């Protein structure tokens, strides 16, 4: 974990400046990684209950679940267990 106070080039109490520098560096690291490694993004716009049909087995790193696990939609169990 990083600390705003350990980020150089900003005043010691400049939290927003520290966040800006931290996120700028993080974005640069991400862009360097995307440019040097094979990275594929697939974005689906469909009902989450139909998503499993479109995914190859063990071929994904992350699925953004956002608010679908809310009790008003799928709920936690249905979101986590296919």
- Sign (positive/negative) of CA torsion 63, 66, 71, 74? negative
Residue ranges of the domains in the chain?
A: 4-36, 48-80
pTM value > 0.95 = no
Q: Classify the phi-psi angles of 70: left when phi > 0, otherwise alpha if psi is within -120 to 50, otherwise beta.
A: beta
Task: Characterize 43-55 residue by residue with b for buried, 16 or more Cβ atoms within 10 angstroms of its Cβ, and e for exposed.
Answer: eeeeebeeeeeee
> How high is the pLDDT of residue 21?
87
Report pLDDT digits (tens) over 46-77: 887 788 788 777 666 677 777 777 888 888 88
> How high is the pLDDT of residue 8?
61
**Bigger pLDDT: 66 vs 24:** 24
pLDDT at 28 over 80: yes
Q: Classify the phi-psi angles of 39: left when phi > 0, otherwise alpha if psi is within -120 to 50, otherwise beta.
A: beta
């Amino acid at each position: 974990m990083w600390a705003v106070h350990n980020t150089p080039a900003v005043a010691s109490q400049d939290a927003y400046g520290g966040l800006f520098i931290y996120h700028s560096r993080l974005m640069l690291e991400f862009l360097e990684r995307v440019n040097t490694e094979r990275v594929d993004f697939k974005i689906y716009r469909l009902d989450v209950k139909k998503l499993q049909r479109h995914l190859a087995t063990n071929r994904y790193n992350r699925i953004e679940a956002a608010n679908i696990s809310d009790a008003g939609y799928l709920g936690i169990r249905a979101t986590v267990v296919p």
